[in-house]
A = this chain, B = another copy of it.
């Protein structure tokens, strides 16, 4: 059987350049739709059981985050349920996977995918819980439903907003939300019952449905990077942000979490609202307390490594978290998980993955509860 590469499925993305033999495959990472972002890939190889594959990503050096390939290992799966890391190298221009699959059909991806079907199943099962309501916020550029789950009582004194996958290729963000919702809807979880005495949770598991289905890293179906659209979103370019922002203005917001993945750093960390001009010492202190509490709640979370401090520029107000602090005066954090591994607790077989993201999502209720009680 000859080698076949395909990507016509949910989030599939690759451009085949040439397939001479199993040992001589050249591909290009496909651009996001409507934007020049190169990073996400997800494809299937058939016909190489027990044969060593050499897959060269010829344009890896031109990726949005080329340093994301340093020390990076791609993920693979035979059943799209169990994913594992495969030997991957990067010479500054070309990234190469060398792997001998055990079965005829194998999938390779940038990170463990989170499919649109799983997204719908997450909504479906949550709505069956007496603790949650499923709400439609409107439609995306391509007409997909933008859904929100409301967990708890809307009359609760505080409002917690959690949004994920503004950047659709950062699938760890929706794994995180799945873990958080599992905890929040578990009648045996004490953090859930205590948090829900203090607050209602507005959760948008997937801010970017079109980009998710298309297999984009970063943009929606209009080519917009949603996390640069919070200042003046429009229904044409960024309805996803426009609709969520409208709802936030309606409900108010006391705590805002925007869940992401970072291509470069092998750590879990948050970026806060420090760049805001009027960020007060009290806000800074509250932010620090959350960070310290989160470290206790999960050994995967740390604050040693993260983004460098940056001065205020107008762009800051286009981003979700700083915008939330600016608009609501509230604690607002952008949580970043690695595409690579957690260097503080490396797992060579799995790297960072969906299961670890879920654990982190459950753990976040601990610092959230402490923040709500202050």
Contacts and interface: CB of A to CB of B under 8 A. Distances in A.
Interface of A: 1, 4, 6, 8-10, 44, 46-47, 78-81, 103-105, 115-117, 120-121, 123-125, 127-128, 133-136, 139, 142-145, 147, 186-191, 193-194, 293, 296-300, 342, 345, 347, 350, 353, 355-356, 358-359, 366, 369-370
B8 A145 contact: yes
Contacts of A297: 296, 366
A46 B127 CA distance: 12
A359 B194 CA distance: 14
Given A9-B120, A104-B133, A104-B135, A46 B145 contact: yes
Given A127-B104, A145-B44, A366-B296, A358 B6 contact: no
9 contacts: A6-B144, A79-B121, A103-B128, A104-B127, A105-B127, A105-B134, A115-B117, A188-B359, A296-B370
Given A4-B136, A366-B296, A79 B356 contact: no
Contacts of A80: 120-121, 124
Identical copies of this chain, number: 4
Given A188-B355, A190-B342, 18 more contacts: A1-B136, A4-B136, A6-B139, A44-B145, A46-B145, A47-B136, A78-B128, A79-B121, A103-B134, A104-B127, A187-B347, A187-B350, A188-B356, A188-B359, A190-B345, A190-B359, A193-B347, A293-B296
A340 to B, nearest CB: 16
Contacts of A144: 6, 8-9
B81 A105 contact: no
A44 B147 CA distance: 12
Contacts of A117: 10, 115, 117
Nearest to A369: B299
A127 to B, nearest CB: 5
Contacts of A1: 135-136
Contacts of A120: 9, 80
Nearest to A115: B117
Contact of A124 (B105, B189, B342): B105
A123 B143 contact: no
Contacts of A353: 188
A34 to B, nearest CB: 17
Contacts of A123: 105
Nearest to A188: B355
A78 B46 CA distance: 36
Contacts of A44: 145
A176 B323 CA distance: 43
Contacts of A104: 127, 133-135
Contacts of A186: 359
Nearest to A123: B105
Contacts of A103: 127-128, 134
Contacts of A134: 46, 103-105
A246 to B, nearest CB: 14
Contacts of A116: 9-10
Given A9-B120, A104-B134, A136-B4, A189 B79 contact: no
A117 B9 CA distance: 8
A6 B358 CA distance: 29
B299 A194 contact: yes
A342 B193 CA distance: 12
